[in-house]
Structure 1
Amino acid sequence: MNRTNRRKKKKWPWIVGIPTVLILGAVVYGLFIYMDFTKTVKEIHEPIDREVSDKREVPIAFKKQDPFSVLILGVDEREGDSGRSDTMIVLTVNPETNSTKMVSIPRDTYTEMVGRGFKDKLNHAYAFGGIEMAMDSVENLLDIPIDYVVQVNMDSFKDIVDAVGGVTINNTLNFREGNYSFPKGNIHLNGDEALAFVRMRYEDPRGDFGRQDRQKQVIQAVLREGASVNSLLNYKSIFGAISNNIRTNMTFDEMVDVQKNYRNATGNIEQLYIEKGSGQKMNGIWYYMMNSDELRGIHDELKEHLEL
């Protein structure tokens, strides 16, 4: 055997070894992510004292791919009180149709405070009775079961935006909020800017409806950025921001089942709109009064999507 062949043979272990090391590195990295993810989910899981909705005959089973609903509460926590749920978004997820429906509920909606026996602004339900009363009151308003809840601390939501490297959105309205200016077009927002962007109400000709659209834009942008490769490389910061600012009654095993069985459905979101109601003052306080026909239409569409 000549010297050239000997040299070629010596290179093979290195050629084989490089992909092996890369694969092992990816496996170890994936294991670290999984361990941190498991820890994060345990930290954000918060059981709630609430029975299964009487609007369901049997509890949902993710392994059977039952359609389910989620209430997202964006809570402004204030010193000295329990805060208000200034963002209320309901999602219904159906794996059979591979679709998710999303509806934002105006925070000033005049409706029953379930458990209190009177009507008030919907966002006050959280202040009166916490997550449980908020879920019950939204459930009563929309006439569908609310299966799960995700509570987001809006004041610290900026940490999550920063953790994914900021978000890019298409802004349709030129406005200022606080110290920030938001020109029309595609703009990139850091955490503080994103928080100001979603909180503005009074300069928007559409009022709370315009704010709801901006909230949904930022939430979808966060989800999109969170799934990117760059975010995976920065997963510790993302998990840290999530564990500090999010609480949910969904368990780790349930999240795994959703990821496994509902992935296609959660990637296809259809937005429903509540916008035909009217404002009304009572005792000097402004309320949003739902249009009964529009509300009935949303009832029917969400029930059909949940196969109820």
Structure 2
Amino acid sequence: MASRSEKKKLSKRRRWLYWVGGILLALIVAGIGYGVYVYNQLDNAVDAMHQPLERDTERQKEMEGIFNDKDSFNMLLLGVDERATDAGRSDTMIFMSLNPKTESMIMMSIPRDSYVNIPERGMDKLNHSYAYGGVDLTLTTVEQLLDVPIHYYAKVNMEGFVQGVDALGGVTVNNSFAFDQDGESFAEGQIHLTGEQALKYTRMRKQDPRGDFGRNDRQRQVIEAAMGEAASFSSVTKVGEIFDILGGNVQTNLTMDNFQSMFSNYRQTRNNVNTIQVEGSGSTIGGVWYYEVPDEEWSRIKTEIKDHMNAS
């Protein structure tokens, strides 16, 4: 089992991934609307982030058809901690599905310790798929797990959380009850958070009667607030600063054309975000702790995702 200090580090990494996901989505749906200067800044950021996969070549027609036909598409956000002497593991995985026809989005955090079948490796922790085969194997594993295609990915390095929030000018959220966390007091009602405060706000779990579900709600609040802030930017300087943060910390197979299509046809999905919770329990198998999710729970999740994708 992880120590308390390890859990705190993991919690911080997860918060950064949620923030980058929110900022990335905000730029997808809003960032192109600021004229030639910002368009060029976004073009430079996307060029720095762009990291295509071998499998993209085989799926090129399918991926192009998605945007041409304005179909649903799925994306996986990966929070990765890599070191020079270690291939790394994905600390956090967030599945997203965007449907422009219903102007809605699904967002689901997949537990990294989920006990799943990794192709050609057998049953293991989900996050080990990254250590075994990088982004490609991770996407293949999640596709098999959820029985839906993963069209795009964004891999996030775990740095820059506070800078990203502060570059947005902070965020405003509606706090359901007052609490203290890490020396900071959060009042009930509408509050404005700096980067440091937002990190603490999303970290709280033990004082919430809903536990992880309550914390997930606060994370979702932060993502939606980040989208709203980015969509209402009036300062091209701040937009450029955020592009720099993204360019240095994110890799994705999204292209500039993809961003343009998203701005035209998918930007309204950010206004209707539905969160899926993965229900399971911890167990020890062969002396190793795993998060086991019943087959019927995976079946429920698959049905919900497919219904969302096919809705019109």
Q: Distance in 2 between matches of 1:194 and 1:75?
A: 21
User: Is the contact made by 1:155 and 1:195 (CA closer than 8 Å) also made in structure 2?
Assistant: no
Q: 1:40 to 1:236 in 2, by over 3 A?
A: same
Match of 1:219 in 2: 223
CA distance in 2, matches of 1:108, 1:72: 16
Partner of 1:304: 307
Q: Secondary structure at the match of 2:159?
A: helix
- The CA distance in 1 between the partners of 2:67 and 2:102, in whole Å, is 15
2:297 corresponds to 1:294: yes
Q: Which amino acid is the alignment partner of residue 73 of structure 2?
A: F
Identity %: 43
User: Are residue 234 (structure 1) and residue 238 (structure 2) matched?
Assistant: yes
1:169 to 1:83, Cα distance in 2 relative to 1, 3 A: farther
Pairing of 1:126-275 with structure 2 (within 5 A): 126-171=130-175, 174-177=179-182, 180-181=183-184, 183=186, 185=188, 186-198=190-202, 208-230=212-234, 232=236, 234-275=238-279
- After superposition, residues 74-85 of structure 1 pair within 5 angstroms as 74-78=79-83, 80-85=85-90
CA distance in 1, matches of 2:76, 2:256: 18
- Classify 1:122/1:217 alpha carbon distance in 2 versus 1 (closer, same or farther; 3 Å): farther
Per the alignment, residue 72 of structure 2 pairs with 67
User: How far off its partner does 1:129 sit?
Assistant: 1.9
Q: 1:267 to 1:129 in 2, by over 3 A?
A: same
Could you tell me how far apart the structure 2 residues matched to 1:167 and 1:79 are?
Answer: 35
Match of 2:307, SS? helix
Aligned residues: 275
CA drift of 1:191 comes to 2.8
Separation of aligned partners in 1, 2:216 and 2:103: 24
Residues 60-98 of structure 1 show CA distances to partners (whole Å, capped at 9, x for unaligned) of 430211211111122234564243322211111112222
Give 1:41 shift.
1.2
Runs of 5+ in structure 2 lacking a partner? 1-33
**Cα distance, 1:148 vs structure 2:** 0.4
The change in CA–CA distance for 1:282 and 1:187 in structure 2 (over 3 A counts) is farther
Q: RMSD value over aligned CA atoms? A: 2.9
Q: TM-score, normalised to structure 2's length? A: 0.77
Q: Answer yes or no: is the 8 Å Cα contact 1:106–1:288 preserved in 2.
A: yes
> In the TM superposition, what is the alpha-carbon distance from 1:193 to its structure 2 partner?
3.9
In structure 2, the CA distance between the partners of 1:52 and 1:121, relative to structure 1 (3 Å rule), is: farther
Give the match's secondary structure for 1:155: coil
**1:30 counterpart (32, 35, 49):** 35
Cα 1:168–1:266, aligned 2, differ >3 Å: closer, same or farther?
A: closer
CA–CA separation in structure 1 for the residues paired with 2:185 and 2:228: 21
Amino acid at match of 1:141: L
Deviation at 1:258, TM superposition (A): 1.3
What is the distance in 2 between the residues matched to 1:199 and 1:79? 28
Structure 1 231/290 Cα, relative in aligned 2: closer, same or farther at 3 Å? farther
Which segment drifts farther, 258-267 or 227-236? 227-236
Deviation at 1:147, TM superposition (A): 0.5
**AA in 2 matched with 1:168:** T
CA pair 106-202 structure 1, distance change in 2 beyond 3 A: farther
> Given the superposition, is the C-alpha separation of residues 52 and 113 from structure 1 closer, same or farther in structure 2, using an over 3 Å criterion?
farther
Number of the residue aligned with 2:287: 284
Q: Which stretch shifts more, 163-172 or 187-196?
A: 187-196
- Residue equivalent to 1:5: none
Gaps of 5+ in 1: 1-28
Contact kept, 8 Å, 1:152 with 1:247, in 2: the verdict is yes
Measured at CA, do residues 196 and 283 of structure 1 come closer, stay the same or move farther in structure 2, by a change above 3 Å? farther
Q: CA deviation at 1:290?
A: 0.7
Greater CA drift, 261-270 or 182-191: 182-191
* Range moving further from structure 2, 101-110 or 191-200: 191-200
By relative contact order (CA 8 Å, sep 6+), the higher-ranking structure is 2
TM score, norm. by length of structure 1: 0.78
